[in-house]
Structure 1
Amino acid sequence: MADPLALAQIVEAQQRPRAAVIRDAVEAYIANHARPSGAEVFGAWRDKRLDGLEYQQTLRSEW
């Protein structure tokens, strides 16, 4: 858990409203944990030599 005084120290050091510091923190968290869009993963399988269905069956046979 974070130090409860850390936010107060940041607010004081930056001389900014608490809400603005929290807003920036939430925006940074979302940016770092965003899911990839379809465009970022489209075509990711094209260089694979194994057919997608064969790959799926191989994985399932390991269960």
Structure 2
Amino acid sequence: MARRTQITLSEAQYARLKDESERTGASLSELVRRAIEDSYGLPRMDDARSALQDSFGAWGDRDFDGAKYVERLRRGMARRLAE
């Protein structure tokens, strides 16, 4: 079920929205819906995949043993939890 709402925009916001509407052919309402979805919606799978792909190898230039690193973190956490 769709809900209808009313918002108040500044002149500058309205002008930007109107310009984008004319440029893309999308209605003002559609642009507002897209902006809300982009800001507050669930992440899209393509975005999640892209983020994972971009992060792959990010620590490749580091010279350390990943298993030892994790163990060191766990020991520190166990000590902190025991306090």
TM-score normalized by structure 1?
0.53
Q: CA RMSD in A?
A: 3.4
| Correspondence for 1:5 | 8
Identity, in percent, stands at 25
Task: Show the counterpart of 1:20.
Answer: 30
Q: Higher mean Cα deviation, 44-53 or 21-30?
A: 21-30
Rg larger for: 2
Corresponding pairs, count: 55
Name 1:46's counterpart in structure 2.
Answer: 60
State the distance in 2 between where 1:6 and 1:14 align. 11
Unaligned runs of 5+ in 1: none
Whose relative contact order is higher, 1 or 2, with alpha carbons under 8 Å and at least 6 apart?
A: 1
> Could you give the per-residue CA deviations for residues 33-59 of structure 1, whole angstroms, max 9, x where no partner exists?
75413x211112221111000110111
Q: TM-score, normalised by structure 2?
A: 0.44
User: 1:10-38 CA distances to partner (integer Å, 9 max, x unpaired)?
Assistant: 27x727433232144146538xx75413x
Gaps of 5+ in 2: 1-6, 22-26, 78-83
